[in-house]
Amino acid sequence: MKFTQAATLLLSLGLSLPVEGITRARNQAVAPKPPFRPLPDSPPRTKTCHVKANKNGKDDAPNILSALKECNNGGHVIFDKDTEYTVATAMDMTFLNHVDLEILGKITFTPDTDYWQANAFRHTFQNATTFFNLGGTDVNLYGSGELNGNGQIWYDLYAKDPLVLRPILVGIIGMHGGTFGPIKLRYSPQWYTIVVDSTDVLFDGVDISGYSKSAHEAKNTDGWDTYRSSNIVIQNSVINNGDDCVSFKPNSTEILVQNLHCNGSHGISVGSLGQYKDEVDIVENILVYNIAMYNSSNMARIKVWPGVPSALSTDLQGGGGLGSVRNITYDNMVIGNVDWAIEVTQCYGQKNLTLCNQFPSKLTISDVFIRNMKGVTSGKRNPNVGTIVCSSPNVCSNIYATNIDVKSPKGTNDFICTNVSVSYFLP
């Protein structure tokens, strides 16, 4: 689906995209569903700093850090309109306190793959790295501008070496109170956004897009991945990507996702979880509401590793972790050309179901509510439209699919269910 079509659909839902010259409305409303806990206020800023651009491709990271330090503790930092900024140095911006970053120009990260593999910030989960870390207290980033990850060189490099460390475009690390958006995110080398050790953050009006221009796909380009974070809101955004639209990684709690248009993705996913042996992963109190999902492999998805080591790919393998998935709700969804309307599995990465059942997952799934979904699947899984596969009936309970008005192109609406008792009601 083209971006203009996505914009038209979003507008039909009463939503809007970032427009030129927009400014952040302080203390934006979260609607139609409220956050799990009230988000903190953001007081007015009292000083302004402009970031100087060196131009001609010279590194602007020192100028950015200088402006942030000057305007920290109550300031407003502006990246000027019609100005291109180049970042060639990894930036730690986790020291911020009561500050706004208004991006009116374009910020591009250099295509120096050797430098970024050696110097991007490393995180503990799935070998994730970031171009920069943004965090602190009451931090707001917004504007009509763009963050660009120069992803094409990374897509081509990953095709040759699947173990290459591709940076994530946006790292929200240790942020407590803040907003992100409206803003444009383009051509991330890997995930677009990772949220780590953060609380009370609102993402609103984020425009994500970036496909490969070569034969090598832009892989693993998740829109958002939350990790060890709580009370996060993601809303009113359009995502054109090649992997999960949103993914709730280990220890994500009280997350609200609403009013999204996702195109070309792998769905809105819980997980993957249970990847690391004997580590405890908990994902609970998740609400996904009012989602349009097109040209994707999944819509509502829960993916858990089995109790035995498994390998999904060269750079993604695991199994044997502990924990639980509980109180997950997907409500009010429209799909088109989606392979699986619903996919729940505890055999992620393990194609041998006999082996998966022999070594069932140590991570339980319970109290999952999927309701009010309509549309037509791609037909790739004919005659099936959904699959719920548990590695043991002892680790899955209370999974409900209600008012599921989804059919395959042949008019069928079959489900594959293994080791689980599912309550499934057609409209």
pLDDT of residue 330: 98
Query: Residue holding tokens 């008792």?
Result: 421
Residue 10: which pLDDT band, with cuts at 50, 70 and 90?
very low
3-425 adopts what CATH topology? Pectate Lyase C-like (2.160.20)
Question: What is the tens place of the pLDDT at every residue in 328-387?
Answer: 999 999 999 999 999 999 999 998 889 999 999 999 999 999 999 999 999 999 999 999
Mean pLDDT of the chain: 92
Higher pLDDT, 189 or 5: 189
State the average pLDDT over residues 244-271. Answer: 98
Say which range, 7-21, 85-99, 263-277, has the weakest mean pLDDT.
7-21
CA distances (Å), origin 212, targets 62, 169, 240, 424: 31, 16, 12, 39
Question: What is the tens place of the pLDDT at every residue in 135-146?
Answer: 999 999 999 999
CA distances (Å), origin 22, targets 183, 215, 221, 223: 10, 36, 26, 22
pLDDT of residue 22: 34
Q: Does the pLDDT value for residue 423 go beyond 90?
A: no
For the chain, percent of residues with pLDDT exceeding 90: 88
**Cα–Cα distance between 114 and 166 in angstroms, integer?**
10
State the average pLDDT over residues 26-31. Answer: 71
pLDDT of residue 264: 97
**Cα–Cα distance between 63 and 65 in angstroms, integer?**
6
Q: Identify whether the C-beta of residue 317 lies closer than 8 Å to the C-beta of residue 350.
A: no
Question: Residue 20: which H helix or E strand, with range?
Answer: none
**Cα–Cα distance between 277 and 320 in angstroms, integer?**
4
DSSP symbols for 121-150: EE-SSTT-EESEEEEEEEEEEE-S-EEE--
Beta bridge partners of 317: 311
Q: Identify whether the C-beta of residue 130 lies closer than 8 Å to the C-beta of residue 171.
A: yes
Query: Residue holding tokens 């900024």?
Result: 85
pLDDT of residue 13: 46
Residue 402, judged by CB atoms within 10 A of its CB (0-12, 13-18, 19+), counts as middle
| Coil, helix or strand at residue 184 | strand
Say which range, 1-5, 42-46, 86-90, 402-406, has the weakest mean pLDDT.
1-5
> What DSSP state is assigned to residue 382?
T
DSSP symbols for 53-116: P--TT---HHHHHHHHHHHTTTEEEEE-TT-EEEE-S-EEEEEEEEEEEEE-SEEEE---HHHH
Question: What is the tens place of the pLDDT at every residue in 383-419?
Answer: 999 999 999 999 999 999 999 999 999 999 999 999 8
Beta bridge partners of 336: 294, 376
Query: Residue holding tokens 């400014």?
Result: 23
Higher pLDDT, 13 or 18: 13
Say which range, 257-266, 285-294, 388-397, has the weakest mean pLDDT.
388-397
HSE-up of residue 57 (Cα within 13 Å, Cβ side): 3
pLDDT of residue 424: 52
State the average pLDDT over residues 118-126. Answer: 95
**Cα–Cα distance between 163 and 381 in angstroms, integer?**
31
DSSP symbols for 213-228: SSSS---S--SEEEES
Q: Does the pLDDT value for residue 290 go beyond 70?
A: yes
Q: Model-level pTM?
A: 0.94
pLDDT of residue 420: 84
Q: Does the pLDDT value for residue 48 go beyond 80?
A: yes
pLDDT of residue 124: 85
Q: How many angstroms separate the first and last alpha carbons of the chain?
A: 28
Peptide bond into 272 cis (omega under 30): yes
Query: Residue holding tokens 């009230």?
Result: 38
Question: What is the tens place of the pLDDT at every residue in 160-199?
Answer: 999 999 999 999 999 999 999 999 999 999 999 999 999 9
216 is a catalytic site residue: no
